[in-house]
Structure 1
Amino acid sequence: MTTPAPLHEHLCRHARERPDAAALLWYGRAITWAELDAMSDAFAARLQALGVGAGEPVVLFLNNCPQYFVAHYGIQKMGAIVCPSGPLNKAHELGYQVGDLQARVIVAASDLLPIVEQVRGQAGSTLAHVFAVHYADWLPEVPNLPLPAELQAARAAPRIRQADCEDFEAAVQSGACPAPVARGMDDVALMTYTSGTTGLPKGAMLSFANALFKTEVTAQANDFTQQSMVLSVAPLYHIAGMLMGVNVPIYAGATQVLLFRFDPQALLQAIATYRVTHWYSIAPMNVACMQLPGAEHHDLTSLQRNPVTSFGIMFTEPLARQWQDFTRGSCLSYEAAYGLSETHTMDTGMPVRAIRWGTQGKPMPGVAIRILDTATGAELPRGELGEITVRSPGNFQGYWNKPEATAATLRDGWVHTGDMGRLDAEGYLSFTGRMKEMIKVSGYSVFPEEVETLLIKHPAVAQAAVVAEPDAAKGEVVKAFIVTKPGQSLTAEALIAWSRENMATYKAPRHVRFIDALPATGAGKVLRRLLKDL
């Protein structure tokens, strides 16, 4: 471990030692360490000039872009708190978060300003200052990767000029430096909103020390070095994308190829063009890349590490072998981790020389995991199913202004996750599902993730998600939402019959509905609550 220092100090160090080296590559535009450091300094100074104080929340409302890094580290340099809000949020969702934080300042993409204005118009809104980010500002004249439609539109759109909305680009090009701010490693640096174990979204307060700890162990577990070429496409506002994109490459001093969003053509071209060595992906991304016509013509042999998160599609051993064959190299692909916002994620990691499929790996160094009986709270022996609890230097400081919720989740230094799982004899963790999403069928406990894992073994099923359906006789039964593979046909009756042959009868779906796509977050996590609304 290094001498404890906030991650923005690692950014400053790289700027001193290698000022002209590329920190970010944005569709062919190189942004150096010196530029990233200077612009984040200027933004920190501008926030101070506005009267933003240490410990004050500042909201980020934008997609992947270099400006995200500048804002994130500028906020932390002057001691304020980074508060990401997913750019898919609508006015009521953004308004709830802004209201909970009592936030005065927001950094928002120009195409999202109508939503920001709706929030500012709400009674009691505290938003007083808006920085508008124009995505096209840092794009090169001739991009070397395919631009998504949103960036093409941004290039054609006029710059937003409003009296009450400041141009982010002008703010970060001032060359100003912030006044020194005394902040300790245990001070809150980041607040990510999560539903936690229950209820409305809550701000999980994470400190400089929490972020540094998880960043260090993640970098070491996945062999990130200064020589790594990292591809970042997972949403930076999501805790996993933030760890693997905003934090780890900055800590390691690695060059990062940044994409606005996932596009298989741009992604494969980026790997081949920049000789990418590390890519954190979500399982459907791997599948989409392999299905792209002409994908085999891209040289992907530079890939060394590809940690994968199973959302919607399970990343199984056969799929990993298929991906390794597809890349025609020595790429190690494996289930990335188990983790949650309250622990700055990555509580487990997969030992790449001893991969155990169907698990999320072993606890990371410095992380302790216990499985507790949900009725008694007693620790259970290896192999038994119970609630996952976690203790580590990554554990959050509590929920913002929610002392009761904090007390329920954070007890004696342990985060009670509300997740169910088991540890095997060798210490590998298997995550089974969320306690609150558990389906009770005639008294039997059914975990959605387990049924979904079995359903996607059917040769015609591309994706599956299951929810509880009320039933007069059994209390609840399983209802499945199915996305079929292209060119495949399947009936509900055939899938139900197949399920009864391949899983316990009480787990088998009683109802099946076919849909074109599963509703999901920007990070790819299936939103079962929206399926229930269907």
Structure 2
Amino acid sequence: MGEFMTESLKESLESFYAAKVWEDMTLGKALSAWSENYGDNIALTEADRQVTYQELEREAGRIGAGLQRRGFGKGDKIVLQLPNSIEFVISAFALFKLGVIPVMALPAQRKTEIKGIMEKSGAKGYVIKDNYLGFDYKSLAREICRESQTPPAVIVIGQSDEFIAYEDLREGPELSDEPEIGSGEVGLFLLSGGTTGIPKLIPRRHADYLYVAQKTAERCRLDQESVYLAALPVAHNFPLGCPGLLGTLTVGGRVVICPVASPDEIIPLIEEEGVTITGLVPALAHMCIEFLELDDGYDISSLKVIQVGGAVLDSYLAARIEKAFACTLQQIFGIAEGLICCTDLADGEEIRYHTQGKPISAYDEILIVDEKGREVPEGEYGELTVRGPYTIYGYYNLEEVNQSCLSDQGYFKTGDKARWQNGNLQVAGRLKEMINRAGEKITPSELEELLLRHEDIGDVQVVGIEDQELGERICVFILAQNKGLTLNGLRNYLVGQQVASYKLPDQLVYLEAWPLTNIGKIDRKQLRVLGTQR
């Protein structure tokens, strides 16, 4: 909780949300209700495997019972580092039922992040797959155990060696007596999406996370006929609950699990499984467009909605995505710490291409403020701050950080630059991504959108690079499709677009491929490193 946010204000907000907003339901109990309501309906599909709602409930109970026999109980933490799989879903619900808190680690994270996450959370367990995409997770687990004062119990899906075999947890009676868990208690830890240091732990409660899944499912108009493709790493907030896996299950739909986030997996699965909705980050959506342009033999007409979020989506690429996929584009903006905004499926192109829509909840309270915390007029950019029934009051065990990320009225400071446009939110990127060139402030997305209109530019990123004379210089990165463009050529093109002289780029770098983060976003931190080296 922030330094100036009073306990009485927090209690008042919590009482209101509990009475007016949240359903008194845990994630584990929700699965039991879905099993009763949807029974033999298929909940999950992975390759040739299918799991019904009843089977998912039963398997989660078995794994939960196995964990309970090995000493895990309410309040314990387990780091869950699994690729997209049926076992991921079963394991997560087993932990929800036990009141054990899963820490949602990403498959791409390695020793530095995992060890830091273990230490921050005090996790007693670590669930991994033996090998994924050529990486040996057992070797990682051995290193972590050797360097830990209290090594975690390691549970392995696949060849377990000296560790606990996941399959062994299934042996024995099912979970017969679930512990009493309050819907307002912490149900899971998401990880912050920062690109520096150890990820921060984001405590999400059973009731608030279910609420997000339900409200985004409503905004996406999901129902029992919906087929959601989980293409991004499902431990991430976007494919996990916005509406993602959980939102689809709330309405009795079917989740198709994509093992690897790549176009040659995603596009065939849309055709084979009759996928109706999926969520992608802009870089992956762009790769899928290129895949479809190379091979137009796929029938993806089942797809009705493509959500794109996780990074700023310029309007030019938005239009290309909607045309290539021949379905409705839904822009989504969200933070793992809380606020989710989406465009509505009925919105016109102006809203869907240029904004991120409206908050999913009527109880989300948004203020866009200047550097002194004063609210700015509509149409002006400022920092996006929010409080509401699913936005956190602070990170886990980080009181010093929490004092700076909350206002005295409990508004969470997102660090995003945004403005209101005719009642819809328009996010321009992270405040720290703003380029300060000789005292002038430049928004990268503004230049990126103009550059994408150039006939020889397929994809582009604009980044500020530290510069002794200018403070920061403007560096343009282009994928190496056409190396005929020069820096002067770019500058002349932008002058023709009536761009101010202080916004003209100082550097041009060609790349063969984008450096990507764990979730598939373009890694702007790595771009800065590359720009410095040129």
Q: TM-score range by the shorter chain?
A: 0.7 to 0.9
* Other-structure match for 2:13: none
Shift of 1:199: 6.7
Question: In structure 2, do the counterparts of structure 1 residues 123 and 528 end up closer, same or farther at CA, with 3 Å as the change threshold?
Answer: same
> Over aligned residues, Cα RMSD in angstroms?
2.5
Q: Which residue of 2 aligns with 1:148?
A: none
What are the superposed Cα offsets for residues 485-508 of structure 1, whole Å, 9 maximum, x if unpaired? 4x6643334234334443332222
Residue aligned with 2:34, SS: helix
User: Which residues of 2 match residues 423-462 of structure 1 at below 5 A?
Assistant: 423-424=420-421, 426-462=422-458
Residue 83 of structure 2 is aligned to residue 26 of structure 1 = no
Shift of 1:306: 1.6
Give matches, 1:378-417, under 5 Å: 378-411=374-407, 412-417=409-414
After TM superposition, list the pairs within 5 Å mapping 1:65-464 onto structure 2: 65-111=85-131, 112-124=137-149, 126-134=150-158, 160-163=159-162, 165-172=163-170, 174-177=172-175, 179-194=177-192, 200-243=198-241, 244-292=243-291, 295-309=295-309, 311=311, 314=313, 316=315, 319-327=317-325, 331-335=327-331, 337-343=332-338, 345-350=339-344, 352-355=346-349, 356=351, 357-366=353-362, 367-374=364-371, 376-411=372-407, 412-424=409-421, 426-464=422-460
How far is the alpha carbon of 1:463 from its aligned partner? 2.7
Q: What is the alpha-carbon distance in structure 2 between the residues aligned to residue 450 and residue 162 of structure 1?
A: 53
Tell me: CA distance 1:498–1:400, structure 2 relative to 1, closer, same or farther (3 Å).
same
Aligned to 1:525: 521
Stretch deviating more after TM superposition (467-476 or 17-26)? 467-476
1:131 to 1:483, Cα distance in 2 relative to 1, 3 A: same
1:295-320 CA-to-partner distances (Å, cap 9, x unmatched) read 432222222222222648x353x555
Matched, 1:55 2:75: yes
Output the TM-score relative to the length of structure 2: 0.87
Alpha-carbon offset, residue 263 of structure 1? 3.3
Q: What is the CA–CA distance in structure 2 between the aligned matches of 1:236 and 1:119, rounded to whole Å?
A: 24
Contact 1:272 1:299 in 2 (8 A): yes
Change (3 A) 1:310 1:397: closer
> In structure 2, what residue type is equivalent to 1:133?
I
Describe the superposition over 1:335-383 as per-residue Cα deviations: whole angstroms up to 9, x where unpaired: 2x2211111x523444533441221112223222111111x21111101
Preserved contact between residue 44 and residue 178 of structure 1 (Cα < 8 Å): no
> CA, structure 1 residues 315+228, in 2 after alignment: closer, same or farther (shift >3 Å)?
farther
Q: 1:408 to 1:327 in 2, by over 3 A?
A: closer
What's the counterpart of residue 16 of structure 1? 36
Q: 1:498 aligns with which of 493, 500, 522?
A: 493
TM-score of the aligned structures, taking structure 1 as reference length: 0.87
Q: Hey, what's the Cα distance between the residues in 1 that align with 2:141 and 2:487?
A: 43
Shift of 1:454: 3.0
Q: Out of 78-87 and 520-529, give the one that drifted further.
A: 520-529
Q: What are the Cα deviations for residues 5-59 of structure 1, in whole angstroms up to 9, with x where unaligned?
A: 2233232122223332211111121112122111111222222222223222210
Q: Contact 1:351–1:361 (CA<8 Å) still a contact in 2?
A: no
347 and 16 in structure 1: CA distance in 2 versus 1, 3 angstrom threshold: same
Structure 2 stretches lacking a partner, 5+ long: 1-20, 132-136
Change beyond 3 A, Cα 1:447–1:227: same
Q: Which region of structure 1 is more displaced relative to structure 2, 184-193 or 487-496?
A: 487-496
Residues 348 and 231 of structure 1, relative CA distance in 2, 3 Å threshold: closer
Q: Secondary structure at the match of 1:495?
A: helix
- Retained in 1: the 8 A contact 2:341–2:356? no
Answer yes or no: is the 8 Å Cα contact 1:484–1:490 preserved in 2. Answer: no
1:217 corresponds to which letter in structure 2? K
Map Cα deviations across residues 454-483 of structure 1 (whole Å, 9 max, x no partner): 333332223323332233332222122221
Q: Which has the higher contact order (CA 8 A, sep 6+)?
A: 2
Equivalent position amino acid for 2:155 in 1: F
Segments of 5+ residues of structure 1 without an aligned counterpart are: 135-159
Structure 1: distance between partners of 2:178 and 2:27? 16
Distance 1:10 1:488, change over 3 A: farther
Question: What's the counterpart of residue 8 of structure 2?
Answer: none
Whether the aligned pair in 2 keeps the contact of 1:188 and 1:206 (CA below 8 Å) is yes
How is 1:27-42 mapped onto 2 (pairs within 5 angstroms)? 27-42=47-62
Cα distance 1:385–1:107, how it changes in 2: closer, same or farther (>3 A)?
Answer: same
What amino acid maps onto 1:465 in structure 2?
Answer: Q
- Answer whether contact 1:492 1:513 (CA < 8 A) is retained: no
| Cα offsets for 1:191-229 (capped at 9, x unmatched) | 122166997521111111220121111000001111212
Amino acid at match of 2:346: V
Secondary structure class of the residue paired with 1:423 = strand
How far, CA to CA, are the matches of 1:58 and 1:342 in structure 2? 20
Structure 1: which amino acid aligns with 2:100? Answer: A
Mapped partners of 1:175, 1:460: distance in 2: 63
Residue type at the aligned position of 2:246: N
Amino acid at match of 1:494: G
Residue identity in the other structure for 1:116: A
**Deviation by residue 1:154-204 (Cα, 9 ceiling, x = unmatched):** xxxxxx2423x1111231354521532122222111112216699752111
Give the total of aligned pairs.
Answer: 498
Q: Secondary structure at the match of 1:72?
A: helix
- Contact preservation (8 Å) 2:112, 2:198: no
| Contact 2:229–2:279, Cα closer than 8 Å, also in 1 | yes
Kindly state the Cα deviation for residue 255 of structure 1 after the two structures are TM-superposed.
Answer: 0.9
2:234 is matched by which residue type in structure 1?
A: L
Does the 8 Å contact 1:388/1:420 carry over to 2? yes
1:258 shift after superposition? 0.9
**Residues 394, 402 of structure 2: 8 Å contact kept:** yes
Output the CA distance in 2 between the equivalents of 1:269 and 1:436. Answer: 38
Shift of 1:386: 0.8
Query: Once the two structures are aligned, what percentage of the paired residues are identical?
Result: 26
Counterpart position of 1:147 = none
Aligned residue for 1:144?
none
User: How much does 1:322 deviate?
Assistant: 4.6
Q: Answer whether contact 1:4 1:212 (CA < 8 A) is retained.
A: no
Q: Classify 1:13/1:484 alpha carbon distance in 2 versus 1 (closer, same or farther; 3 Å).
A: same
CA distance in 1, matches of 2:24, 2:221: 20
What residue is the counterpart of 2:18 in the other structure?
Answer: none
The change in CA–CA distance for 1:110 and 1:67 in structure 2 (over 3 A counts) is: same
Question: Does the CA-based 8 Å contact 2:228-2:248 persist in structure 1?
Answer: yes
In the alignment, the residues of structure 1 paired with residue 308 and residue 511 of structure 2 have an alpha-carbon distance, to the nearest angstrom, of: 25
